[in-house]
Amino acid sequence: MAIQGSCDPKFEKIRDAFALNFERGLEPGGAAVSVTVHGRPVVDLHGGFVDRGHTQPWQKDTLINLASTTKGILAICVLHLVDRGVIEFDAPVARYWPEFARAGKEGITVRDVLSHRAGLPAVRPRLSPEALYDWTAMTAALAAEEPWWPPGTQHGYHAMTIGWLAGELVRRVTGRTVGQYLREELASPLGLDLHIGLGPREEARTADVRTTRPEPGRTAFVQTVMNEPDSMSGWAFLNPVLCLTPQVLNSHAWRAAELPFANAHGTASSLAHLFGALAHHARGHEKVLSASIVDAARTEHAFGYDPVLREATRYGIGFMLPHEGFACSPNPRAFGNPGAGGFLAFADPEASLGFAYVTSKMSVHTLLDPRAARLSEATYACL
């Protein structure tokens, strides 16, 4: 498999690790990896194909659905508004969204929502699949929902609901959708090829996502959830519909919608550039967020067993933080977001590092995929 793109000679170990993923058959489709250090791109590689027939090579500007790394982009939009003084971390959500102050949710804060402690990992009324694309229906359902636990007392992955919760905050205070805010305030000014809600021109250069079967003897998390639809995990991932299928992820409806929990599309280079800008604050380099907001975002707010993902998770504000089950970086104060199937983006301010890996093949790993882990380890070996 020919690997395309650029790689600083100092970082050849990343090229080797990326090529090895293809050589071992771990990338039957296409993938890309990008790294910035001190605000400078040092790796920007891609390989493989965008289609199952292997007729269309992956290009530098190929877009791919970013799965839950989308949550990091959503968090950056909200943090951008906090930095501007438009939203406050410890303000109740109901200050900006008055209808939210029902069913015991009056005290839920913006901080609670972004650290997955709001107690709203799902809504209990069984919704029709069409509700996935009905923003008003979903926000109304969340406004009426009673928390699954006393807000702020524990945490659990708000797999889908965080998109509507945080996205509605953006809409209430700006009058714009998250997709519009991303485009106008971050992507366009920084020259980033990142989108929430694709137009026809962008959709035409989007790679298809494919899934894989688990290894013998291993049960995929998604299958476990489907077998237990009435568990907390089942409600969180299946209501209104299971999104983690090629039928949904490759559909025009999904790509055109604005679902800021999992349907951002972009390139690895733009994702690494964005996270790299959070990690690097040198004079003359674009500053997406102030250093104080970045420090707040990567301060631990929750750590321990997550009843939705059914394993330990560790959260800052809007981002996952490294721990044994999510060893994306050896620096415990790095921060970022994995995406179902293998995606990974993170920032490490101590190393002034931005990292992003994207793939068209979704694996069964919930947090850290071995392909991404191998690339991250190679990155740190080069520093």
| CA-to-CA separations, 322 to 77, 183, 200, 219, 379, in angstroms, rounded | 22, 29, 37, 24, 16
Beta-carbon count within 10 A of 208 CB = 17
Mean pLDDT, the chain, rounded, equals 95
Measure the CA–CA gap between 285 and 349, rounded to whole angstroms: 14
Domain layout of the chain by residue ranges:
62-74+179-266+278-382
Beta-carbon count within 10 A of 287 CB = 15
Token output for 260: 């800021």
Query: CATH second-level architecture of 62-74+179-266+278-382?
Result: 3-Layer(aba) Sandwich (3.40)
Distance of CA 273 to the CA centre of its chain: 15
Exposed, middle or buried: residue 328 (CB in 10 Å: 0-12, 13-18, 19+)?
Answer: buried
When computed from its CA atoms, the radius of gyration of the chain, rounded to whole angstroms, is: 19
> Can the peptide bond before residue 151 be classed as cis, meaning omega within 30 degrees of 0?
no
Contacts of 178 by beta carbon, 8 Å cutoff, 6+ apart: 74, 77, 166, 167, 170, 171, 196, 258, 260
pLDDT of residue 341: 84
Per-residue pLDDT, averaged over 51-80, amounts to: 96
pLDDT at 215 over 70: no
pLDDT digits (tens, 9 = 90+) for 140-149: 999 999 999 9
pLDDT digits (tens, 9 = 90+) for 243-284: 989 999 999 999 999 999 999 999 999 999 999 999 987 655
Using DSSP's 3-state secondary structure scheme, residue 199 falls into coil
Token output for 244: 């983690």
Measure the CA–CA gap between 218 and 180, rounded to whole angstroms: 41
pLDDT at 103 over 70: yes
Q: Which residue has the tokens 């931005």?
A: 354
Q: Half-sphere exposure (CA, 13 Å, Cβ side) for 247?
A: 2
Length, in residues, of the chain = 383
CB 327 within 8 A of CB 314: no
Measure the CA–CA gap between 334 and 320, rounded to whole angstroms: 9
Element (H, E) at 314: strand 311-315
Give the least confident one: 34-48, 104-118, 143-157, 271-285. Answer: 271-285
Q: Give the closest residue to 3 by CA, choosing from 35, 45, 31.
A: 45
Backbone angles phi, psi at 349, to 5 degrees: -60, -35
Query: Beta strand 210-211 with 361-362: parallel, antiparallel or unpaired?
Result: parallel
pLDDT digits (tens, 9 = 90+) for 223-251: 889 999 999 999 999 999 999 899 999 99
